[in-house]
């Protein structure tokens, strides 16, 4: 069965609205684990060093690049969704087959290409940063000790929630009683990381669907506007 461009354009709404869903879920998860990390699990702890039996103060410094990149990824997904919806609304009109609307067709298809590519790139960058921001120590952090003996652990929010906090969960329970927040914030941080991979594949699908409908529209345009119009086309279709 031959598929027309109208069907492909309708199918393009699937990755479009899925992109919106991914954007909203990512934003909610980031906001929630950010609040958990800042207000429920403490970034400042005091432990007893077993060999020396001395108090050691530990300050956990959250590294922002991975989280910031995930926010950018969600933002570009939202932008790509908005542009795709507008493009769908414009391109579905039968008048867009007219020769005079060739620049408009190219503009909207190209705009979708641009935003979906930006979304793919930002999600890829966010995924990479979740790994490159890991430190060399056992907790995936960069640990330093200042002159006063305070230990500073520079970690991504994922490493802090999944590696550092579980190792100190008993101390956290005595200090704040928010033991429950540790596994929850870890799961949410990991989910956001892997959501970047889903966002990447969805951006490819969005790009591909609009590209395919543009190609099919080019091949079948003459059938819709009349065979005589083929002789009047001075420009190549998008």
Strand runs (DSSP E) across the chain, as ranges? 44-49, 54-62, 142-145, 151-155
How far, in Å, CA of 29 to CA of 188, rounded? 6
Domains in the chain, number: 1
How far, in Å, CA of 19 to CA of 80, rounded? 8
Predicted confidence pLDDT, tens digits, the chain (238 residues): 456 778 888 899 999 999 999 999 999 999 999 888 877 776 777 666 666 667 777 888 888 999 999 999 999 999 999 999 999 999 887 777 777 777 888 899 999 999 999 999 999 999 999 999 888 888 888 988 887 778 888 999 999 889 888 877 766 556 555 778 888 999 999 999 999 999 999 999 999 999 999 888 878 776 666 643 544 445 455 4
Report pTM. Answer: 0.83
Which DSSP string do the residues of 67-114 spell out, in sequence order? HHHHHHHHHHHHHHHHHHHHHHHHHTSGGGGSGGGHHHHHHHHHHHHH
How far, in Å, CA of 121 to CA of 88, rounded? 23
Q: Is residue 237 part of a domain?
A: no
Q: Is residue 232 part of a domain?
A: no
Q: Is residue 235 part of a domain?
A: no
- Residue 5: Cβ within 10 Å count: 21
How far, in Å, CA of 238 to CA of 215, rounded? 7
pLDDT of the residue at 4:
79
How far, in Å, CA of 213 to CA of 119, rounded? 20
Q: Is residue 228 part of a domain?
A: no
Q: Is residue 35 part of a domain?
A: yes
DSSP state of 233: -
Structural domain range at position 28: 5-223
Structural Rg of the chain based on CA atoms: 25
47 forms bridges with which residues in the sheet? 56
Q: Is residue 229 part of a domain?
A: no
How far, in Å, CA of 238 to CA of 221, rounded? 11
Residue 1: Cβ-neighbour burial (10 angstroms; 0-12, 13-18, 19+): exposed
Q: Is residue 234 part of a domain?
A: no
Sign of CA dihedral 220, 224, 228, 234: negative
Q: Is residue 205 part of a domain?
A: yes
């Amino acid at each position: 069965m031959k598929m027309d461009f109208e069907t492909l354009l309708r199918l393009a709404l699937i990755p479009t609205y899925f992109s919106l869903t991914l954007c909203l879920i990512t934003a909610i998860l980031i906001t929630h684990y950010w609040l958990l990390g800042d207000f429920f699990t403490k970034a400042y702890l005091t432990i007893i060093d077993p060999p020396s039996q001395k108090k050691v103060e530990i300050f956990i410094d959250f590294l922002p690049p991975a989280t910031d990149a995930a926010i950018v990824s969600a933002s570009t997904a939202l932008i790509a969704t908005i542009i795709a919806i507008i493009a769908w609304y414009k391109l579905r009109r039968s008048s867009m087959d007219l020769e005079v609307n060739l620049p408009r067709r190219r503009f909207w298809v190209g705009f979708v290409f641009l935003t979906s590519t930006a979304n793919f790139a930002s999600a890829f960058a966010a995924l990479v940063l979740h790994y490159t921001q890991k430190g060399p120590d056992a907790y995936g952090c960069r640990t330093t000790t200042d002159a006063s003996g305070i230990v500073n652990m520079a970690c991504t929010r994922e490493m802090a929630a999944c590696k550092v906090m579980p190792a100190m969960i008993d101390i956290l329970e005595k200090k704040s009683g928010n033991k429950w927040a540790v596994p929850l914030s870890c799961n949410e941080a990991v989910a956001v990381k892997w959501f970047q991979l889903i966002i990447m594949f969805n951006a490819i699908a969005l790009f591909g669907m609009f590209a395919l409908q543009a190609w099919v529209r080019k091949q079948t345009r003459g059938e819709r506007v009349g065979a005589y119009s083929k002789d009047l086309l001075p420009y190549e279709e998008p």
